[in-house]
């Protein structure tokens, strides 16, 4: 029996393999993109699949792996007419042959491949478990094999979500993979994402998972999978999911965002969001109220105006959600008053921070009309609110890439210098991105350029006049 230390070592090793797999697959795709025209005209046809398969069985899988990546990138290159040989390859003892076969079947997307792919996924899961339990380091060939296995399992699960929609067998198989799901580059999980493509049956499987305890990875994968469900036919199911607090809160929030997006084209779905916004017991109520402003239709706006009449009786976060929703759907008329309250010397600092948060979230592009004025926000004595000004400046610069002048209070040198460094750091990251791969400047030169640029826009407030910081 393997020791716990070995098992843990194997688990960590598989996590490293999965991360390496993502990097290698990405590199393979980028390579294919860079050479797409050459590959389409010559590279693919310069390899004989049978010969490449034979070389892979003899311990040299590189040619077959290159063909596999190319098929993944350009499925139209697959010209096979009979799939039975590739179904048989899924049972091959060589993982590289299996991986190639999976990519060919993915390219063809034929329903006859569902059962062979299900069997392969089960096989791949057993192999992953064996590798985790084995312990020890992998040699180069074994490491390539582990990557190929992950790549093949990922592709098989995702295509199964497309070609075998609603099949109880496929849903059950994919659901069995949820606790040990493979991470995808964009943050989701393979089996979770595949279930999101399988209609109501897939959603039900995800809901079942959401009703139980979840690891951090499962919660992240579940939230991402629910976000993929955009079928209006599942709106009622998503509504029921949102209403029942036995399900994971983050996953339900993701479902509510889907309803928000679908409601813009559907009065019926708008009413679902309204019902959640009306539910005083719902932990999603504040979000639903905010989303009414994003929906912006007449029924949504009218409900917000109804809420506005009852603000004193609402909880503080719900009342703020009403303000945020109304600002989102009527920024042109409501933003001027918010800006005036924000800049008023009689407004407490804490309230100014709340108002900026409100404008930042829901003010929309209209806040750019007030950019220079927003950057003058001050305390009652006229002293700049450095932290708030910096946050506003950062947001405006991120959106517009303009170098707005920034006047700061230097009476506390440490705090002032901190803001100068923060602005310079942001500029340095921009310069790093611009200089990436060119190596026109050294790190020290980019740091100095960023600091010079920061000093050129930051001015010191001295209570009477401003002067450029030397």
Pairing of strands 458-461, 466-468: antiparallel
The residue-averaged pLDDT of 261-273 equals 96
pLDDT at 50: 86
CA distance 67 to 53: 10
The residue-averaged pLDDT of 346-356 equals 95
Note the pLDDT tens digit of each residue in 30-50: 333 334 333 343 344 455 788
Confirm if 103 and 67 have CB atoms less than 8 A apart: no
Residue 377 has pLDDT above 90, yes or no: yes
Residue 364 has pLDDT above 50, yes or no: yes
CA distance 424 to 447: 8
pLDDT at 186: 72
The residue-averaged pLDDT of 208-228 equals 95
Residue 21 has pLDDT above 80, yes or no: no
pLDDT at 212: 94
Q: Whats the size of the chain, residue-wise? A: 470
Between vectors from CA 15 to CA 13 and to CA 21, what angle results, nearest 5°? 100
More confident residue, 76 or 259: 259
The residue-averaged pLDDT of 333-360 equals 95
Tokens for 183, please give them. 């991470």
The closest alpha carbon to 239, from 222, 262, 214, 215, belongs to 262
Tell me the pTM: 0.74
Mean model confidence pLDDT for the chain: 85
pLDDT at 24: 41
**Segments in 95-187 forming alpha helices (H):** 95-108, 114-134, 140-163, 168-176
- DSSP string across 309-329: TTGGGS-HHHHHHHHHHHHHH
pLDDT at 260: 97
Neighbours of 153 (CB within 10 A): 26
The structure tokens 């993701």 sit at: 254
Name the most confidently modeled range: 161-170, 181-190, 400-409: 400-409
The residue-averaged pLDDT of 56-67 equals 91
Confirm if 406 and 424 have CB atoms less than 8 A apart: no
pLDDT at 46: 52
pLDDT at 166: 65
Residue 5 has pLDDT above 50, yes or no: no
CA distance 191 to 125: 12
pLDDT at 18: 43
pLDDT at 69: 87
Name the most confidently modeled range: 135-144, 179-188, 199-208, 359-368: 199-208
Confirm if 181 and 212 have CB atoms less than 8 A apart: no
Q: Tell me the HSE value of 157 on the side-chain side, using a 13 A CA sphere.
A: 32
pLDDT at 37: 36
Q: What share of the chain in percent tops pLDDT 90?
A: 61
Element (H, E) at 73: helix 62-73
């Amino acid at each position: 029996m393997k020791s716990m230390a070995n098992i843990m070592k194997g688990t960590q090793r598989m996590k490293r393999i999965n991360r390496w797999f993502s990097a290698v697959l990405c590199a393979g795709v980028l390579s294919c993109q860079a050479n797409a025209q050459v590959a389409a005209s010559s590279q693919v046809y310069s390899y004989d699949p049978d010969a490449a398969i034979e070389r892979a069985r003899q311990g040299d899988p590189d040619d077959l792996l290159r063909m596999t990546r190319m098929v993944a990138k350009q499925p139209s290159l697959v010209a096979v007419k009979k799939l039975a040989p590739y179904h048989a390859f899924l049972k091959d003892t060589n993982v590289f042959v299996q991986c190639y076969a999976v990519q060919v079947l993915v390219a063809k997307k034929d329903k006859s491949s569902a059962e062979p792919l299900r069997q392969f996924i089960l096989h791949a899961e057993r192999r992953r478990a064996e590798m985790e339990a084995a312990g020890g380091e992998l040699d180069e060939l074994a490491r390539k094999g582990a990557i190929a296995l992950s790549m093949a399992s990922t592709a098989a699960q995702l295509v199964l979500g497309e070609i075998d929609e609603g099949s109880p067998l496929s849903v059950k198989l994919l659901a069995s993979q949820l606790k040990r799901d493979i991470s995808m580059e964009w943050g989701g999980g393979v089996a979770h994402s595949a279930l999101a493509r399988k209609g109501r049956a897939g959603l039900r499987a995800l809901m079942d998972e959401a009703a139980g305890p979840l690891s951090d990875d499962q919660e992240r994968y579940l939230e991402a999978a629910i976000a993929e469900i955009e079928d209006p036919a599942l709106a009622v199911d998503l509504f029921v999911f949102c209403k029942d607090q036995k399900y994971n809160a983050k996953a339900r929030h993701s479902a509510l965002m889907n309803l928000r997006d679908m409601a813009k084209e559907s009065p019926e779905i708008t009413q679902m969001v309204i019902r959640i916004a009306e539910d005083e017991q719902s932990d999603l109520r504040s979000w639903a109220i905010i989303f009414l402003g994003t929906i912006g239709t007449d029924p949504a706006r009218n409900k917000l105006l109804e809420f506005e009449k009852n603000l004193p009786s609402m909880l503080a976060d719900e009342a703020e959600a009403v303000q945020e929703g109304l600002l989102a759907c009527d920024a042109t008329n409501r933003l001027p008053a918010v800006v005036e309250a924000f800049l008023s010397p009689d407004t407490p600092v804490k309230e100014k921070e709340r108002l900026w948060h409100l404008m930042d979230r829901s003010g929309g592009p209209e806040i750019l009309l007030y950019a220079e004025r927003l950057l003058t926000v001050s305390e009652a004595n006229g002293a700049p609110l450095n932290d708030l000004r910096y946050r506003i400046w950062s947001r405006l610069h991120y959106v517009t890439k303009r170098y707005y002048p920034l006047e700061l209070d230097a009476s506390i040198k440490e705090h002032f210098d901190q803001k100068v460094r923060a602005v310079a750091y942001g500029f340095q990251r921009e310069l790093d991105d611009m200089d990436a791969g060119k190596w026109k400047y050294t790190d020290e030169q980019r740091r100095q350029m960023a600091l010079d640029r920061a000093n050129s826009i930051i001015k010191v407030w001295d209570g009477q006049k401003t002067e450029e910081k030397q």
